[in-house]
Structure 1
Amino acid sequence: MNASDRTPADLLRSALLADPARPLVTFYDDATGERVELSVATFANWVAKTANLLQGDLAAEPGDRLALLLPAHWQTAVWLLACSSVGVVAEVGGDPAAADLVVTGPDTLERARACRGERVALALRPLGGRFPVAPEGFADYAVEVPGQGDRFAPFQPVDPDAPALVVDGTELTGAQLVAGAREEAAGLGLAPGSRLLSGRSYDSWAGLAAGLWAPLASGGSVVLCRHLGQLDEDGLAKRVESERVTHRAV
């Protein structure tokens, strides 16, 4: 990617300029059989819409803290880039009571109610489907995001030296995140065009790096697998072959 990239949003912009049609995130949920593939352009469109929701309807500002209570999922990856685009600090598994706003999946709704700010819930259903009935006290992401703009511009430039992510109790600036992503990509042996299969969860830096940041920083792509343990060895071998996987992080 571009050596001048200093924020996660810069990495996505560079990927979009380099090859918008190439796959970026291919997501599997082996508990439901779901498969979703997002090109760089499609992923960037979701990020733009989500960033507009975050900055506009949710009135989030740079430096605000967002408790991100979501599993390894393509929509989680979207939220991570949207936060970075606005300048909001994504606290993975963070305390909702101490956060300015919270984004949650269906399994952590009760925990998320501790947040006194804006609350957004994701059903995590196939194809980004909405809740049959929206949970009380939460905005349904699948209802709110489609009408948002396809282009995003932050109200103020994102400072690469400002906090961007908290994971494993460690706070990283945007510049540190980008540097860490490049280091992880090198350690995993990733290069432009690499296809990394990751079965790691998103609750650690190693999981986030393999499941998003390192492939993005290297010009590669990720095959992100949730509930990978439900796949037998034969099924895994077939996936590696069909998805043209070049590297693994499981």
Structure 2
Amino acid sequence: MNTTDRTPADLLRSALAADPGRPLVTFYDDATGERVELSVATFANWVAKTANLLQGDLAAEPGDRLALLLPAHWQTAVWLLACSSAGVIADVGGDPAEADLVVSGPDALDAARACRGERVALALRPLGGRFPQPPEGFTDYAVEVPGQGDRFTPFAPVDPAAPALIVAGAELSGAQVAARAAADAPGLGLTGPGCRLLSTRGYDTWDGLSAGLYAPLAADGSVVLCRHPEQLAGDTLDKRIGTERVTATAR
């Protein structure tokens, strides 16, 4: 983390400048067998495309609240950083009826329909695949995001002191997210470039978001994010720790 990094989007920009080819997010879904690895450059490209979708097609403005109804997933991490890039407040698990727009996974579509603004649906299929049949009343993220621009510039500079994240009822500014992530890193065993944290925590708490995204990003490290680890047999997770060259765990 550089002294000029005041928001999560700043952290990503610094990581991209320092070493775009290193891994940033490795995702496992142990219910489907999916494994996806995203370098800093690839992750940043997804973030830029998503931020362009958010600011352009969805007409989101700084200060708008986005109800994020997604599990711990690599695409959720993308949306969190896209919101930070555009100045949109990511309300994790927030009430869609009180939000300006909603982003939902396949299991939360009924709840998401309470949002009166733009609605985006993610199929959460391997390789970011689209829905076989698009859900009525929703934009299919996988259909719309590929055509978005690879570079993102916000219409207005993002204020680090403005609200950026709501999780478990607590509201944090972008500056607070970046600072707390950096402060959490040593306690999570993230000690510098090359550190690699395996997390099985959900994204519904600050501890889960910090371990599963923000702290590794602040520490110039990477995260191995595991969804449905309860599906694994025996010592499979321990073997993964060795295979993925994990240096710390958060379970």
User: Under TM normalisation by the shorter chain, which class is it?
Assistant: over 0.9
Separation in 2, partners of 1:172, 1:238: 36
- Total equivalences in the alignment: 250
Quick one: distance in 1 between partners of 2:98 and 2:20? 38
Aligned partner of residue 151 in structure 1, secondary structure:
coil
State the secondary structure of the residue aligned to 1:192.
coil
Q: AA paired with 2:99?
A: A
Q: Is the 8 A contact 2:189 2:247 kept in 1?
A: no
Is 1:229–2:235 an aligned residue pair? no
Indicate whether 1:171 and 2:189 are aligned. Answer: no
3-state SS of paired residue (1:68): strand
Q: Which residue of structure 1 aligns with residue 212 of structure 2?
A: 211
CA offset digits 1:209-236 (Å, max 9, x no partner): 0000000000000000000111134211
2:66 aligned residue: 66
Q: Using the alignment, how far apart are the partners of 1:249 and 1:17 within structure 2?
A: 27
Q: Secondary structure at the match of 1:142?
A: helix
Corresponding residue of 2:243: 242
* Amino acid across the alignment from 2:245: R
Runs of 5+ unmatched residues, structure 2:
none
Structure 2 counterpart of 1:157: 157
SS in 2 for 1:63: coil
Which residue in 2 is equivalent to 1:26?
Answer: 26
Deviations 1:26-71, CA, capped at 9 Å, x for gaps: 0000000000000000000000000000000000000000000000
For 2:46 and 2:148, the matched residues in 1 are separated by 9
Q: Distance in 1 between matches of 2:101 and 2:202?
A: 22
SS of the equivalent of 2:123 reads coil
Query: What is the rounded CA distance, in whole Å, between the counterparts of 1:66 and 1:167 in structure 2?
Result: 12
SS class of match (1:156)? coil
Shift of 1:189: 2.3
Which letter maps to 1:235? T
| Equivalent position amino acid for 1:184 in 2 | D
SS at match of 1:187: helix
Return the TM-score normalized by structure 2. 0.99
Structure 1 stretches (4+) deviating beyond 4 angstroms?
none
Deviations for 1:149-207, whole angstroms, at most 9, x for unmatched residues? 00000000000000000001000000000011001112212121111000000000000
CA contact (8 A) 2:134 2:140 kept: yes
Q: Please give the secondary structure, in 2, of the residue aligned with 1:91.
A: strand
Partner of 1:197: 198
**TM-score with structure 1 length normalisation?**
0.99
Question: Percent of aligned pairs with the same residue?
Answer: 80
Shift of 1:3: 1.7
Q: Alignment partner of 2:185: what SS?
A: helix
Cα distance between partner residues in 2 of 1:60 and 1:124: 23
Partner residue of 1:110?
Answer: 110
Q: CA deviation at 1:142?
A: 0.1
The equivalent of 2:51 in structure 1 is 51
Q: Output the CA distance in 2 between the equivalents of 1:8 and 1:243.
A: 25
SS where residue 136 of structure 2 aligns? Answer: coil
**CA distance in structure 1 between the partners assigned to 2:111 and 2:34 by the alignment:** 26
The CA RMSD over aligned residues, in Å, is: 0.6
Q: Which amino acid aligns with 2:149?
A: G
The residue identity in structure 2 corresponding to 1:193 is G
Stretches of structure 1 that go unaligned for 5 or more consecutive residues are none
Of residues 12-21 and 229-238 in structure 1, the stretch that sits farther from structure 2 once superposed is 229-238
Matched letter for residue 127 of structure 2? L
What amino acid is aligned across from residue 141 of structure 1 in structure 2?
Y
